[in-house]
Structure 1
Amino acid sequence: MLTVRDLPAFPELGITVCHAGEDREVQSAQVLSDTDWIRSTVAHALIVTHSRYLEDAERIMYTLSAGGAAALVVSGTAPDALDPALRETAAQHRLPLLTTSHPLGDWKTLLTHRVAELGVTAARRHAARLGTLLDHLSHPQADTVTGVAEYLAAELPGDVVVRDAGGVRAAAPPAAPVTLAAALEHPGRPGRTPDGLYVSSVPVGGQGALVVGTPAPLGQAEAELTTCAAKVLSVAMTGRRSDDLVVSDAVRQVRLSAFQLLMTGHAVDAQRVTASIMPGLLDPTHARVYVTDCGRAGRALVMAQADRLFAGQALSVACPAFDNHIISVVPLVEGQEHEHIVRHLLEVFRTAGVHTGGSQPHELKQVGDAYDEALAALTRASHRPERIVVASPRPPGLADVLPTGPARSWATALLRPILSTARIRQLELTAMALEFRTTAASKVLGMHRNTLARRVGQTCEAVGLDPERTMHRIALSLAIQVVRMHGTGSAAETGPPATLHDILVGQEVRAWADKTLRPLATDRRDLVRTLRAWVTCEFHVERAAARAGIAPKTVRAHIQAAEHLLERDFITGIPQDLMEDHGEHRLSGIRPLTCAVYATTPPGEPYPALTTVATAPWSAGAAR
């Protein structure tokens, strides 16, 4: 429908709004002069007159307002020259007051007909808009609610959020819940957002609401469209919600099962699991992994947008360990580029603090390694303005610079009790489990916490290490890395095996360690001294503070500063519900730090207890 607010958009009418009042529908135009009388029917009509005919403005405006006129239009007067008394009288009667640059003669001969034409055209368009909304019910799609939200956002235009008892159900654009965050906390309360959007809310169903934010207050046509959308949403959400939930929950569970199979190297099994919902997706031999932190946007909305953008080209799951992470396994197909999709996702949520880390290409059976690489890149992405870091080809790490013969000799000797038994198959599982403590690892791998703890405990017991000691976990994970990279020593080799101490104090490792810690020298604080105390005290902040003679708060601040400089994740980014004992650490972060600190230990200072192993095989029974 045509409303008063629409009129300035038509230059042929020459209309300027002086006092808007409430927005009203316009169906026709009438001219009022000295020879004309106010007609008995003025509802929804523009009354166009000259200022000289408004000597009795109080009576005229009262009559027009009572009759439901759309507005009074004054000809022959510039907007800034309009009598203030007229503005005041119009405001008293809540009658929109406009001016026109055209004389009354033009209105009599041409413009009244033009208003009628515009009214008919607008009415047809309004009917078509309402009909399109109803089509969403007549021809339901996979996500009717999202379709209605996107349609309404485009038509208003504005930001649209649909919420139900469970939270945000749909949003358009996807970042709308961030823009309308304050309004969503009080959906029944109209107002304005900090960005200046006018907020309106219409109830949906029993406990839901349709919340919209627009640059200007809703006009009559937009308000009717919003009300109709709310009615359509009520029907769609009531009629389809239960079935949608059952199907989507089942699909999510299949995806998660496939991801957890990939994390443990079972690529063929993962292909079979996804065959029914995403046939052929996991057929390629290589894939990248992207880990996205959803910031303030809400994981459900980011996940929905990621699914739309990837359009079946990725296996995306809600991370079972970290509540705000999404993991996307993207198989590599020739001719398909995916990084631009991730960047588009970040652009959609550019105001919500969303950031992403990506891996290098890995074989599908090595998704676990790709995930660890992407997670490390995610830490760096949080410090970058572009909010995305894709891992570069891996620079030489500790395992690369260890002397091959001695390192293989040491690792083989440590792992021999496992290498000589059927439990060698537990090495890969143990390596993944060691990256986090048991709670997080069990969620990522899809195993019961007690089962995983028992398997890790069995491995550690067999080689004489204590899984509760972080230094022992580091030594075990490093030995597994060496065996995976260099294989095992020959049974025919003679002589005592090399020690980890001998390996770490070698010239090549020392050069690697100096380079690793070099970025810390750019900080005026003695971060190396704090980190050395923290590592030596086996990552107990309070003990490190006492050793270094500083406050625990300062130790934490120094560790976080070192994270930023080294682009490693030591203690931040770990959800509080996963903190165990004195703290949770990512082994991929503290493992190279520990070895670098060990290799650069100044003469006369004690080495970290990294090479200390239990004098007798550790057992769970003894620990208890």
Structure 2
Amino acid sequence: MPPARARAAAAVPVRRRAGMSRAREWGNVPQPGPGRRADEGKAEVTGRNDGKRRPPTAAGEHPAWARELLDHLRPGGRDVRRVVDWLAGAAHAEVSLQDDAGTLLAGTRLPLDESLVAGLRSGRIASAAWEGEGHHLRLVRVGHPARACVLAVSREAPFDRHTADVVTHTAQVIELLLSAHETAAAGHRLRRATADLRLAILQLLMVEDTVAARRVAAGLWPGLLDADTACVYVVESTPGRREQLLEDCLDTTREEALVVRCPAMDGHVIVVSPREATADHLRSLVERHPDTYLGGSVWQSLARTATAYGQAVSALAVARFRADKTAVYAERTHPERLMDPAALRGWTAMVLRPLDALPHHTRAELLATTRLGLEFTAVNSAKILGVSRNTVRARMERVETMLGVDFGDVTARAVVHLALHTQINLLDGRAGTAPGAPARLADLLAGPAVGAWARELLGRLDGDPRNVRRTVRTWIAAGGNAERAAQSLGVHPQTVREHVRGAEPVLERQLLAAGTDLYEVVLAHLAVGDLEQPLLAGG
């Protein structure tokens, strides 16, 4: 028996169903036989009825429909829905594509024989066809990495060899697209999971849980956080370019750094690296791309990642005005370094003593959240920590209550900020290991070195004829509220904002964005007696 007849004999027996004049199933869609062209009957499909035969296709030349179908595999046209719509037009038919659960993926839903569809999904048959009630239906099994799909084509005219070829090849194209989509989706899920893991590591570092951060990182990036110190960098671009910026940072650092989408700022990418070469790599990246800026911290212990992040953000503000678009946080003279170390340790221990009765984990969580909450808004702090803003506010309110302070008062925020950062220094061993004799805030601020520093800093504003120094002092006393400060001064709120903004480059500190810069200016006012000292339960 010739091979062609053998295949025909092996076809599934004819099945008759109510309302159908003829039905058939087979393992493969028929291919053109010997001496018969693949495009025979095309005049009927395309609407030609003049009886003229088309000239044969030149050797190596694809028919027009094949070229159109192949166009759907180009990078800009890989859309299963568009392929199904194209098939509907090319075959003058209604077309549907369903998955193994019967969900319509593309096209128009068609009434299908469930037992026949089940056979296609199971792989028992590869394709099937029937005709009846004035319609001709063809079904083709479309393989898929996760599940089998069914492509159904229904038309009034019978399926000639040309239309059968179109359906067969379209099914193959759809299979390729579904496989490519599944591969791309799996790759996307992997990249998303890796990005989430990087963010989780950063959040652990932000709350000083370096042990857990190292444990999580060791699985995918062995040795990444083995060092005791690291630098934090913030690379900024437009929000629309951030994904490409993230990939550029990963390539530039060769994955030898922790690269994270900033959860708080849409245009920022955060890089935590224990390697000195990272700075040069990132500078090179910024040089190559316009509208890209880099801010970096000084070297900090991993437990001070949150502090280093604040420094990098502060440096980024400077980088926007520099020709090379980069800046590193300047290690200027901070007021706490001018205070008596033993007295500062004793005062810090006294201020934070109400928290000592808490379990270690709870205390560390409250301190880390409050430290971030004093540097950034509650919303941004929540995004950085991966918790809700209500959680951030609840933790800070608990600290307020236990310390007996009001964080609505900028001076109280500045003083607690001083205690929290001194406590971090104590953990790092930078200010000694044991608290000294108890002292009060007034004693710390009364030292000659602190007084000289404060007078020099605020004295920079004295030359402004607008009396900017008075505006800044009034604005701080009003809790950083321009409207209340304007009422006290008898000016417009915009005038207050302009004066405060104008003081920033003179003082070399950001004031409108609450954080370390503002709190240092507040401490300077407290040291010279321009503001009343806040009341604290412990000091």
TM class, shorter-length: 0.5 to 0.7
Q: 2:507 aligns with which of 547, 566, 571?
A: 566
From the superposition, tell whether residues 483 and 267 of structure 1 become closer, same or farther in structure 2 (CA, over 3 Å): closer
TM-score normalized by the length of structure 1: 0.53
Q: What is the identity, as a one-letter code, of the residue corresponding to 2:268?
A: H
Partner in structure 2 of residue 600 of structure 1:
528
Matched, 1:315 2:255: no
The within-5 A match list for 1:130-209 is none
Q: Supply the distance in 2 between the matched residues of 1:363 and 1:299 (Cα, whole angstroms).
A: 28
Partner in structure 1 of residue 420 of structure 2:
480
Q: 2:235 aligns with which of 272, 278, 292?
A: 292
Q: Supply the distance in 2 between the matched residues of 1:355 and 1:265 (Cα, whole angstroms).
A: 27
From the superposition, tell whether residues 291 and 264 of structure 1 become closer, same or farther in structure 2 (CA, over 3 Å): same
Q: 1:533 aligns with which of 450, 463, 474?
A: 474
Share of identical aligned residues, percent? 30
Q: What is the identity, as a one-letter code, of the residue corresponding to 1:454?
A: A
Per-residue Cα deviation, 1:191-212 (whole angstroms, up to 9, x for no partner): xxxxxxxxxxxxxxxxxxxxxx
Is the contact between residue 318 and residue 325 of structure 1 (CA under 8 Å) also seen in structure 2? yes
Is the contact between residue 271 and residue 282 of structure 1 (CA under 8 Å) also seen in structure 2? yes
Q: 1:611 aligns with which of 512, 534, 537?
A: 534
Partner in structure 2 of residue 402 of structure 1:
339
Partner in structure 1 of residue 199 of structure 2:
256
Q: Supply the distance in 2 between the matched residues of 1:237 and 1:531 (Cα, whole angstroms).
A: 60
* Superposition deviation, residue 261 in structure 1: 0.9
Q: 1:305 aligns with which of 248, 256, 259?
A: 248
Q: Supply the distance in 1 between the matched residues of 2:408 and 2:373 (Cα, whole angstroms).
A: 13
Q: What is the identity, as a one-letter code, of the residue corresponding to 2:401?
A: E
Q: Supply the distance in 2 between the matched residues of 1:290 and 1:517 (Cα, whole angstroms).
A: 30
Q: Supply the distance in 2 between the matched residues of 1:609 and 1:378 (Cα, whole angstroms).
A: 33
The within-5 A match list for 1:134-533 is 238=181, 240-295=183-238, 298-332=241-275, 337-350=277-290, 352=291, 354-392=292-330, 394-422=331-359, 424-425=363-364, 426-485=366-425, 486=431, 498-520=439-461, 525-533=466-474
Per-residue Cα deviation, 1:146-203 (whole angstroms, up to 9, x for no partner): xxxxxxxxxxxxxxxx8999xxxxxxxxxxxxxxxxxxxxxxxxxxxxxxxxxxxxxx
**Aligned with 2:277: secondary structure?**
coil
From the superposition, tell whether residues 356 and 240 of structure 1 become closer, same or farther in structure 2 (CA, over 3 Å): same
Is the contact between residue 228 and residue 301 of structure 2 (CA under 8 Å) also seen in structure 1? yes
From the superposition, tell whether residues 490 and 554 of structure 1 become closer, same or farther in structure 2 (CA, over 3 Å): closer
Q: Supply the distance in 2 between the matched residues of 1:487 and 1:544 (Cα, whole angstroms).
A: 41
* Superposition deviation, residue 521 in structure 1: 5.1
* Superposition deviation, residue 487 in structure 1: 6.3
* Superposition deviation, residue 459 in structure 1: 2.2
* Superposition deviation, residue 260 in structure 1: 0.8
Per-residue Cα deviation, 1:221-258 (whole angstroms, up to 9, x for no partner): xxxxxxxxxxxx99997564322221111111001001
Per-residue Cα deviation, 1:130-149 (whole angstroms, up to 9, x for no partner): xxxx9xx9xxxxxx98xxxx
**Aligned with 1:503: secondary structure?**
helix
**Aligned with 2:376: secondary structure?**
coil
Is the contact between residue 231 and residue 308 of structure 2 (CA under 8 Å) also seen in structure 1? yes
Is the contact between residue 342 and residue 435 of structure 2 (CA under 8 Å) also seen in structure 1? no
Per-residue Cα deviation, 1:358-416 (whole angstroms, up to 9, x for no partner): 01122223222221221111121122222110124x23201111233443443333222
The within-5 A match list for 1:67-86 is none
Q: What is the identity, as a one-letter code, of the residue corresponding to 1:418?
A: L
Per-residue Cα deviation, 1:585-607 (whole angstroms, up to 9, x for no partner): 42212110111122234xxxxx4
Q: Supply the distance in 1 between the matched residues of 2:260 and 2:469 (Cα, whole angstroms).
A: 38
**Aligned with 2:220: secondary structure?**
coil
Is the contact between residue 357 and residue 378 of structure 1 (CA under 8 Å) also seen in structure 2? yes
* Superposition deviation, residue 461 in structure 1: 1.3
From the superposition, tell whether residues 417 and 613 of structure 1 become closer, same or farther in structure 2 (CA, over 3 Å): closer
From the superposition, tell whether residues 522 and 419 of structure 1 become closer, same or farther in structure 2 (CA, over 3 Å): same
Q: What is the identity, as a one-letter code, of the residue corresponding to 1:257?
A: A
Is the contact between residue 239 and residue 266 of structure 2 (CA under 8 Å) also seen in structure 1? no
Q: Supply the distance in 2 between the matched residues of 1:164 and 1:258 (Cα, whole angstroms).
A: 36
Q: Supply the distance in 2 between the matched residues of 1:541 and 1:403 (Cα, whole angstroms).
A: 35
**Aligned with 1:357: secondary structure?**
strand
The within-5 A match list for 1:12-161 is none
* Superposition deviation, residue 528 in structure 1: 1.6
TM-score normalized by the length of structure 2: 0.61
From the superposition, tell whether residues 487 and 436 of structure 1 become closer, same or farther in structure 2 (CA, over 3 Å): farther
**Aligned with 1:561: secondary structure?**
helix
* Superposition deviation, residue 259 in structure 1: 0.8
Is the contact between residue 529 and residue 548 of structure 1 (CA under 8 Å) also seen in structure 2? no
Q: How many residues align?
A: 364
Q: What is the identity, as a one-letter code, of the residue corresponding to 1:388?
A: T
From the superposition, tell whether residues 592 and 239 of structure 1 become closer, same or farther in structure 2 (CA, over 3 Å): same
Higher relative contact order (CA 8 A, sep 6+): 2
* Superposition deviation, residue 453 in structure 1: 2.7
From the superposition, tell whether residues 339 and 489 of structure 1 become closer, same or farther in structure 2 (CA, over 3 Å): closer
Q: Supply the distance in 1 between the matched residues of 2:250 and 2:199 (Cα, whole angstroms).
A: 14
Is the contact between residue 570 and residue 589 of structure 1 (CA under 8 Å) also seen in structure 2? yes
Partner in structure 2 of residue 557 of structure 1:
498
Q: Supply the distance in 2 between the matched residues of 1:381 and 1:445 (Cα, whole angstroms).
A: 26
Q: What is the identity, as a one-letter code, of the residue corresponding to 1:552?
A: P
* Superposition deviation, residue 451 in structure 1: 3.1
Partner in structure 1 of residue 88 of structure 2:
none
Q: Supply the distance in 2 between the matched residues of 1:560 and 1:306 (Cα, whole angstroms).
A: 33
Per-residue Cα deviation, 1:442-470 (whole angstroms, up to 9, x for no partner): 21122333333333222221121234443
From the superposition, tell whether residues 163 and 323 of structure 1 become closer, same or farther in structure 2 (CA, over 3 Å): farther
**Aligned with 1:290: secondary structure?**
strand
- Return 5+ residue gaps in structure 2 as ranges: 1-69, 80-175, 426-430
Q: What is the identity, as a one-letter code, of the residue corresponding to 1:591?
A: Y
Q: 2:514 aligns with which of 577, 586, 604?
A: 586
From the superposition, tell whether residues 302 and 549 of structure 1 become closer, same or farther in structure 2 (CA, over 3 Å): same
**Aligned with 1:539: secondary structure?**
coil
Is the contact between residue 233 and residue 312 of structure 2 (CA under 8 Å) also seen in structure 1? yes
Q: Supply the distance in 2 between the matched residues of 1:399 and 1:375 (Cα, whole angstroms).
A: 21
Is the contact between residue 296 and residue 329 of structure 2 (CA under 8 Å) also seen in structure 1? yes
Partner in structure 2 of residue 65 of structure 1:
none
CA RMSD of aligned residues (A): 3.3
Q: What is the identity, as a one-letter code, of the residue corresponding to 2:347?
A: W
